[in-house]
Amino acid sequence: MSKDNETVIQELPVKLDQEELRLKGEELGEAINERKVAEREFSEVKKHWKTKIDLISEKIDDLARTTRTGIEYREIACKIRYDYGAGKVYMDRMDTGETVKSRKMTDADRQESL
């Protein structure tokens, strides 16, 4: 078998004509726009996941604080009690009866009793 006329395919430089250069320029512009869109979408996805991770971190912090202190804040029904003799207003928990706040009566508080 003679190798004198063997044909091979080889990647070699080719000088482009004006039309080929124009088409390559259009492709380049499209590729740049595709990349911008992809980067924008990536940024939005990153923001979404960062928000999600931040919410989970906040939950972890709250649970850690609760387990460390043994205290959790909950909405508790309270009763406002007026002591006109002492001139004070008290806020008492309805579940335990404990007084959680007290303050001096205002003029408006006194007027309501008349």
Q: Are residues 58 and 29 in the same domain?
A: yes
pLDDT (0 to 100) of residue 113: 56
Tally of domains in the chain: 2
Q: With cut-offs at 50, 70 and 90, classify the pLDDT of residue 1.
A: low
pLDDT (0 to 100) of residue 2: 62
The model's pLDDT over 43-58, given as tens digits with 9 standing for 90+, comes to: 999 999 999 999 999 9
CB 79 within 8 A of CB 95: no
Neighbours of 82 (CB within 10 A): 15
Q: Are residues 22 and 61 in the same domain?
A: yes
Q: Is residue 113 part of a domain?
A: no
- Average pLDDT of the segment spanning 34-38: 98
In angstroms, the CA 68 to CA 104 distance is: 35
- Average pLDDT of the segment spanning 63-82: 96
In angstroms, the CA 96 to CA 22 distance is: 82
pTM summary value: 0.54
Q: Is residue 112 part of a domain?
A: no
Q: Which domain holds residue 85?
A: 78-107
- Average pLDDT of the segment spanning 65-72: 96
The model's pLDDT over 91-108, given as tens digits with 9 standing for 90+, comes to: 999 999 999 999 999 988
What residues pair up with 78 in beta bridges, in sequence order? 93
Q: Are residues 68 and 87 in the same domain?
A: no
Q: Is residue 114 part of a domain?
A: no
- Average pLDDT of the segment spanning 28-47: 98
